[in-house]
Amino acid sequence: MTAIDPRPSVIEERLSGVKRVIAVTGWKGGIGKSVTASTLALLLARKGYKTGLFDLDFAGASDHLILGAKGLFPKEEKGLEPPVHEGVKFMSVVFFSENKAVPLRGANVSDAIIELLAITQWGELDFLVLDMPPGINDAALDVMRFARKAEVLAVTIPSVLAHDVLNRSLELYRKLKVPVLGVLENMAARPGPGKLRRDPALEKALGSPKALLKTRFAEDLAREAARAGLC
């Protein structure tokens, strides 16, 4: 007899106190997905919302570097309780990998993500921002399957190749009936709806939440978040 995995029902319980789950996703590397997810979480917390940030990018977890989150580790209390950094409850695979590459592939990545979703206690949150695994693979699809209330916020760049991958990926999400909250074009040359302008000051601001929130990038993201009804 095949054993029944209890984790799906546990994940549902863990997320029961979360009002909205925003899955920040992108399908090519170097497009600013992690910076977008981290900055969005900071903006929401600054607005007074109870906010969590979950870095699920096993291939390249970097939210801790963007946030300047050092010396943190979750508390163990009937699961794992994320530490709070700059007003944001923060959870990341990097807590368990010692900032090294995680040697997992395929089903093992999915299993590890499901396990993290099952053991993390978020409590009551207005928003949980997910920094999604890149692409649309088993790991990403499993997150969407278990975080049923998730809304996708897609990040792309002004590139023909990036937009082609974006359109194909969004079509798949629509077929799966996953709500698409919006699309953000990062590193845009001109301002406009859905555009996050190229910001030369952004790189120097990484690692300092206060500096990050003062960037043009954060200004544009705040505007787009307001347009999407987030803050």
Here the contacts of 107-110 (C-beta below 8 Å, separation 24 or greater) are: 107/138, 109/58, 109/133, 109/138, 109/139, 110/138, 110/139, 110/142
What is the domain extent for residue 78?
Answer: 7-227
pLDDT per residue over 56-110, tens digit each? 987 778 999 999 998 899 999 888 999 999 999 999 988 887 666 665 566 777 7
Residue 64 lies in a domain: yes
Residue 69 lies in a domain: yes
Residue 1 has pLDDT above 60, yes or no: no
Number of Cβ within 10 Å of residue 97's Cβ equals 14
Query: pTM for this structure?
Result: 0.93
Per-residue model confidence (pLDDT) at position 21:
96
pLDDT per residue over 216-225, tens digit each? 999 999 999 9
Domain count for the chain, please give it: 1
Residue 187 lies in a domain: yes
pLDDT per residue over 127-184, tens digit each? 999 999 877 777 788 888 888 889 999 999 998 888 788 888 888 888 888 899 999 9
Residue 2 lies in a domain: no
Measured distance CA(127)–CA(118) in Å, rounded: 18
> In whole numbers, what is the pLDDT of the chain averaged over residues?
89
pLDDT per residue over 22-37, tens digit each? 999 887 778 899 999 9
Residue 184 lies in a domain: yes
97: domain CATH number is 3.40.50.300
Per-residue model confidence (pLDDT) at position 105:
61
- SS3 state at 21: strand
Residue 1 lies in a domain: no
Are 180 and 151 in contact, with CB atoms under 8 Å apart? yes
Residue 140 lies in a domain: yes
